[in-house]
């Protein structure tokens, strides 16, 4: 497992009416840093959104419906798990979990069924200029290298490199694969 990535198993209490599931309490260690924003993203089957990496922001993801394949890649120079790739599956067909992703860990996801709902919390308010780097998951190798250079610059307090385009989430059509 990538250092700093945490998974919290959630307890589900089912009965004939449905179920109750508590996601997290503000007293739990997994959210010790606290969050500044809560968001909801709905993805259709086959949609991929990748890659994102944050300079200082922490994210917590929960998938209440649908199924999501999450890929994590450690880009941190000082991490013992630098360069490691990790996959996590969240949603209806998997154990109910809350995923925590630290800063410097690039992440992306693909909806394996749809619609897939992602509820996520962030430790900072959305700041695409000073905090976030995006690169398409299917981009050319030189873009992947540029992403590393941009991340290195951001972690030293810089801004995005001049001329770097804003990437939007990539839409992938077709049948999802696992």
Residue 113, helix vs strand vs coil: strand
In what helix (H) or strand (E) does residue 85 lie, and over which residues does it extend?
Answer: strand 85-91
Exposure string of 7-27, with b = 16+ CB inside 10 Å and e = fewer, is ebeeeeeeeeeeeeeebbeee
- Domains, the chain, in order of start with CATH, read 6-155 (2.60.120.10)
pLDDT in tens, 117-155: 999 999 998 887 778 877 765 665 555 555 555 445 444
End-to-end CA distance of the chain: 19
Average pLDDT by stretches of 10, the chain with 178 residues? 96 96 93 93 89 90 96 87 88 96 90 94 86 69 53 42 31 32
């Amino acid at each position: 497992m990538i250092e700093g990535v945490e998974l919290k198993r959630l307890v589900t209490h089912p009965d004939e009416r449905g179920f109750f599931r508590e996601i997290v309490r503000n007293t739990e260690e997994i959210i010790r840093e606290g969050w500044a924003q809560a968001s909801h993203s709905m993805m259709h089957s086959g949609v991929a959104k990748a890659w994102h990496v944050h300079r200082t922001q922490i994210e917590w993801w929960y998938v209440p419906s649908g199924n999501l394949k999450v890929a994590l890649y450690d880009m941190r120079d000082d991490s013992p798990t630098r360069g490691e790739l990790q996959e996590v599956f969240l949603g209806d067909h998997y154990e109910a979990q809350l995923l925590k992703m630290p800063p410097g860990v690039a992440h992306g996801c693909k909806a394996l069924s749809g619609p897939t709902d992602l509820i996520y919390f962030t430790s900072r308010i959305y700041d695409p200029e000073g905090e976030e780097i995006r690169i398409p998951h299917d981009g050319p190798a030189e873009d992947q290298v540029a992403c590393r250079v941009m991340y290195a610059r951001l972690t030293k307090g810089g801004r995005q490199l001049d001329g770097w385009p804003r990437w939007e989430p990539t839409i992938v059509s077709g049948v999802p694969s696992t």
